[in-house]
Amino acid sequence: MPQEIEKHYKEILKQYIQDQNEKDLYSGQKFSRQFIEKEISPEEVIGIHKASLKELFPEASEKLWHSFDFLIEMMIHYGLALQEHQSLIRKQE
């Protein structure tokens, strides 16, 4: 994932968890459309979410980070299904 996307994600997330503003949630939604356009997989999004939280909650339990590794594995099949979708779309174009 390009570094500027990672940085931008962290900024919006940080903003959102500070004040749970609907505006930030909406920015996030718009931003997430770019993820799909840039063919960033859902497991990569979980990875960047984990990395952002590690900065925001440096004291959190190691077990919490392990739970994210588990979640990343859960998302791999979704990522594969999506790749298949993108290749079907390309064939139809």
Interface ranges with its own copies (CB under 8 A): 12-13, 16-18, 20, 25, 28-29, 31-33, 35-36, 42, 45-46, 49, 52-53, 56-57, 60-61, 63-64, 66-67, 69-71, 73-78, 81-82, 84-85, 88-89
Distance between terminal CA atoms of the chain? 26
**E strand or H helix at 93:** none
Smallest gap from residue 80 Cβ to its own copies (A) = 9
Greatest CA span in the chain, whole angstroms?
Answer: 49
In the complex, what is the shortest distance from the CB of residue 79 to its own copies, in angstroms, rounded to a whole number? 9
Six-digit token pair at 53? 């939280």
